[in-house]
Amino acid sequence: MIPDLRFDAQDILATLQPWVLCESPTHDAAAVNRMMSVAARDLALLGATVETIPGRMGLSDCVRARFPHRDRDRPGILVLGHLDTVHPVGTLGSLPWRIEGDRAYGPGILDMKGGNVIALAAIRALAAAGIETPLPVTVLFTGDEEVGSPSTRDLIEAEAARHAVVLVPEPGQPDNGVVTGRYAIARFDLEALGRPSHAGASPHEGRSAIRAMARKILAIDGLSDADCTVSTGIVSGGQWVNCVPTVCRGQALSMAKRQADLDRGVERMLALSGEEDGVRFTVTRGVTRPVWEPDAGCMALYEQARALSEALGQPLPHRSAGGGSDGNFTGANGIPTLDGLGPLGQGYHTLEEHVLIETLPQRARLFAALLANLGAAGRA
């Protein structure tokens, strides 16, 4: 069944604008919690029972919303999204909310506030039309996805285990595609500890942690190959320019299509630890996302989505994608998961982040069709 629903791009943008204007970088828990409050209010207006789950590790709270349903205890649909972004507070100064032609700009608009809003638009339209979804619907919004979900992985996996399927409205693929698998990802903390001395009077007596880190960064870059990439993304060191720096820290990221390749990359990274020329270098493994490879349940879910999309006049190719999402956890745990259901656009994680406006109603229509059809065959 394809519901006869109408979605207006301007209506979706009107809801999306306050979400984008509420800046929510991951490490600013208070800012993300303000965004959680905006989302919680919109969910409550839709009739959901909304609860706040306290955060931990210094990160934000989460919001879980359950919608009324006559089969509330039946395993249903989990809509899984995150409200944190990579953009610090103040980014609106250089990336303001604006409409230019067929594009809408703003921090986090594509990754992934736009996708979260189109999911809510689909729920709203179905309710307004009096269409009950075959399966109960729960929405879970988290606030640490951009740093690997260290404080919410257990919550995500526990909530997903109580559901039949997971829908993730992360950005869609450029050819109107969706995501049916994601690469494995590992993060690493790097630390170089050198020897202090006065940088002007006795530089030869010191051992620079920054210089050692720079050499290690080149070694880390050299580890990348076609099957496993490694890159250093954060470096900080030193305190006084007239002191040989004794501490330098950084963070690196490794990504691979297959778990075995990631495991090999992890071994090579950890092997960089050791002491050389008076500087101790340590690599510590951080948070990890497991590889998500599509199984039969995932592909059956995709095939249903593809049929619905084609009935709506849009092709729906699929692929495994680089870059992690919380779908890594649910898909790897064998729960049928469909990712990349959000709008299309470009430039996420940059000051050119935007959505293509016409894809907001298009993707909302597909999302509504999924909610209206998943589980219909088994309903009494």
The CATH number that applies at residue 282 is 3.30.70.360
Which of 260, 287, 314 is the endpoint of a domain? 287
Q: Are 255 and 265 part of one and the same domain?
A: yes
- 3-state DSSP call for residue 338? strand
In a domain? residue 1: no
Which of 240, 257, 287 is the endpoint of a domain? 287
pLDDT of residue 323: 84
**What is the DSSP secondary-structure string of 13-47?**
HHHHHHHHHS--BTT-HHHHHHHHHHHHHHHHHTT
Q: Are 114 and 263 part of one and the same domain?
A: no
Q: Which helix (H) or strand (E) holds 361?
A: helix 359-373
Q: Are 113 and 163 part of one and the same domain?
A: yes
pLDDT of residue 124: 98
CA distances from 120 to 65, 361, 376 (A): 11, 12, 21
The answer to whether the peptide bond before residue 36 is cis (omega within 30 degrees of 0) is no
Q: Are 206 and 189 part of one and the same domain?
A: yes
Q: Are 252 and 314 part of one and the same domain?
A: no
C-beta of residue 174 within 8 angstroms of C-beta of residue 344: yes
Domain with residue 345: its CATH number is: 3.40.630.10
Q: Maximum Cα–Cα distance for the chain, whole Å?
A: 84
Domain carrying residue 226: 183-287
Q: Which helix (H) or strand (E) holds 158?
A: helix 153-161
pLDDT of residue 380: 36
Phi, psi of 46 (to 5 degrees): -80, -5
Domain count, the chain: 2
C-beta of residue 259 within 8 angstroms of C-beta of residue 250: no
Stated pTM of the model: 0.93
CA–CA separation, 350 vs 251, rounded Å? Answer: 19
pLDDT of residue 102: 98
Q: Are 258 and 321 part of one and the same domain?
A: no
In a domain? residue 196: yes
Q: Are 305 and 224 part of one and the same domain?
A: no
Give ∠ CA 190-196-202 in degrees, rounded to 5: 135
DSSP label of 223:
T
Q: Are 74 and 162 part of one and the same domain?
A: yes
In a domain? residue 376: no
- Taking only the tens place, the pLDDT of each residue in 89-102 is 999 999 999 999 99
Which of 236, 267, 287 is the endpoint of a domain? 287
pLDDT of residue 1: 80
Share of the chain above pLDDT 90, in %: 95
Q: Are 282 and 297 part of one and the same domain?
A: no
C-beta of residue 278 within 8 angstroms of C-beta of residue 228: no
Nearest to 331 by CA among 149, 110, 111, 161: 161
- Those residues of the chain that have pLDDT short of 50 are 379-380
Q: Which amino acids are annotated catalytic?
A: 84, 145
Q: Are 117 and 42 part of one and the same domain?
A: yes
